[in-house]
Amino acid sequence: MLSKVKNHLYNSDRIDWNNLTFTRAELWKLLYPLMLEQLLTSFMGMADTVMVTRAGSEAISAVSLVDSINILVIQILSALAAGGTIICSQYIGHKDFKRCNAAARQVVITVLMISVPLALLCLIFRKPILGLVFGSVDPAVMENGVAYFFYTSISFPFLALFESGAAFYRAGGNSRFPMTLSVISNCLNIFGNAVLIFGFDMGVAGAAISTLLSRIFSAVVIFWFLRKPRQPIVIDRYLSIRPDFRMIRRVLSIGVPSGIENGMFQFGKLAIQSSVSTLGTINIAANAMMIILENLNGIGGIGIGIGLMTVVGQCIGAGRVEEAKYYIVKVSMIAEAVVLVSCVVVFAIAKPVMWIAGMDPKAAEICFQMLIYVSIVKPIVWIPAFIPAYGMRSAGDVKFSMVASSITMWCCRVLVTTVLIRVFGVGPIAVWIGMSLDWLVRGIVYSLRYRSGKWLNHSVIS
């Protein structure tokens, strides 16, 4: 019976089990640093937020507002880096290292062509942009926001370069080095916050400068090491790089749909937040803490999904289609176990975390009730909604993913949440009912897409 199920998902007879692209040890060597990186980055981000909070309510309000724009930019730049991972991993699987390196050089040009003008736009028009997005806010909050946006805008090109460099390492199967560098960078950011916020009393500007310096450090270090012939992708002689618009179009054909998908997700979150803001302070606080806890119990799964892009990319590049199918199933099963354990751990530590955070007892009670719901539902429906999509995107199926996720996001998550809150008066649990419905429908759509095999009808590399 089990063999029939497996053959329905992938043809095991067409897989050379003695010569797999990734052995079990190699697979774990790729995946565990990505899980650890996502987890540590999340914890350090929380520590960063706590330190900024000490600078005053105007400072944390400004950072929160500006970061809603910064996250949108980061998602777009990360999508371009993901496009680089897909293209380069397929070339590596095809054993065409010359074109792989040529593609990587064009990824660098592409992210600079997008991130530099974007940074200049945000620098020049930072005050009108903040005024347009957030309208009338307290003058002190706006002043802090403008200062924070100034320095974080300068950091966009450096962030884009680091994300691209990390993608090149991951495409070659090395996720440990980017993890190490990311952790060091986050530690430097926290140290810089301590010095500039508390030592020099620079407030929100100190936090932004620390972020800028840590991103410059990451970009410089990763591209310094990319010059050395220790990995499949080597980038040197930077001044000799010239645009190859055919390759740039190929990078954009992968990165732009993923960027739009990420952008739609952020806009959807803002729309949901607008409805939550009508529920009162206690419910807003409960939902804010629930968002943090839900991010924690899914962060390991996201790291696994990022690793799956490399695995499937190399399999597709090598022409091992059935192996690509097999790894999507296998890695999804690994992610299922990781998310289940994460949900149990987060559930166990939730009350102590809420106590340490000094939450209002009523808000903590509401948050814990929502956590019970998510902890039951998430292990059942989250994996099919996200993990297989990473693999199918790595085969070039990015437009379908963009359309499907955008439709389910707005029709399920945003619409259902808005109706439940604004029409039926349901509390913040409406957010998670809408979100779980989105997961369920998206999982069904992606499962049908996977079984149809249409996600394989794409040509990423020539």
Domain boundary among 208, 243, 278: 243
> Does residue 3 or residue 135 have the better pLDDT?
135
Residue 1 lies in a domain: no
Asked whether residue 60 falls in the same domain as residue 161, the answer is: yes
For residues 167 and 290, membership in a common domain is answered with: no
At 165-220, the pLDDT tens digits run 999 999 999 999 999 999 999 899 999 988 998 888 888 899 899 999 999 999 99
The answer to the question of residue 9 being in a domain is no
Mean pLDDT across the stretch 246-253? 87
The reply to whether 235 and 285 lie within a common domain is no
Whether 408 and 430 map to the same domain: the answer is yes
> In this structure, are 46 and 183 located in the same domain?
yes
CA distance 250 to 245: 8
Residue by residue, DSSP assigns 170-223 as: HHTT--HHHHHHHHHHHHHHHHHHIIIIIIS--HHHHHHHHHHHHHHHHHHHHH
Percent of the chain's residues with pLDDT above 70:
96
pTM: 0.90
**Same domain as 271, residue 196:** no
Sequence letter at residue 57: S
Domain boundary among 243, 277, 309: 243
- CA 189 to CA 65: how far, in whole Å? 20
- The answer to whether position 11 is within a domain reads no
User: Does residue 335 carry a pLDDT above 90?
Assistant: yes
- What total number of domains does the chain contain? 2
Of 218, 243, 268, the last residue of a domain is 243
227 and 346 fall within a common domain? no
Does any domain span residue 316? yes
CA distances from 378 to 46, 196, 397, 448, 449 (A): 22, 40, 25, 20, 21
Please write the tens of the pLDDT for every residue from 295-307.
889 999 999 999 9
pLDDT (tens digit, 9 = 90+) per residue, 378-425?
999 999 999 999 999 999 999 999 999 999 999 999 999 999 999 999
Lowest mean pLDDT segment, chosen from 27-36, 138-147, 298-307? 138-147
* pLDDT of amino acid 2: 43
pLDDT of 432 reads 96
Residues 361 and 449 in one domain: yes
Flag whether 8 is in a domain.
no
Same domain, 237 and 367: no
Task: Kindly indicate the confidence band of residue 137, based on its pLDDT and cuts at 50, 70 and 90.
Answer: low
Q: Are residues 356 and 417 in the same domain?
A: yes
Give the whole-number percent of the chain exceeding pLDDT 90: 59
Domain that holds residue 175: 21-243
46 and 92: one domain?
Answer: yes
Are 111 and 157 within one domain? Answer: yes
Q: pLDDT-derived band of residue 263, with 50, 70 and 90 as boundaries?
A: confident
Q: How far is CA 403 from the centre of its chain?
A: 18
The mean per-residue pLDDT over the stretch 55-83 comes to 80
Residue 123 domain flag? yes
Length of the chain: 462
Q: Note whether 21 and 321 are within 8 A (CB).
A: no
d(C-alpha 305, C-alpha 302), whole Å: 5
Please report whether residue 405 resides in a domain: yes
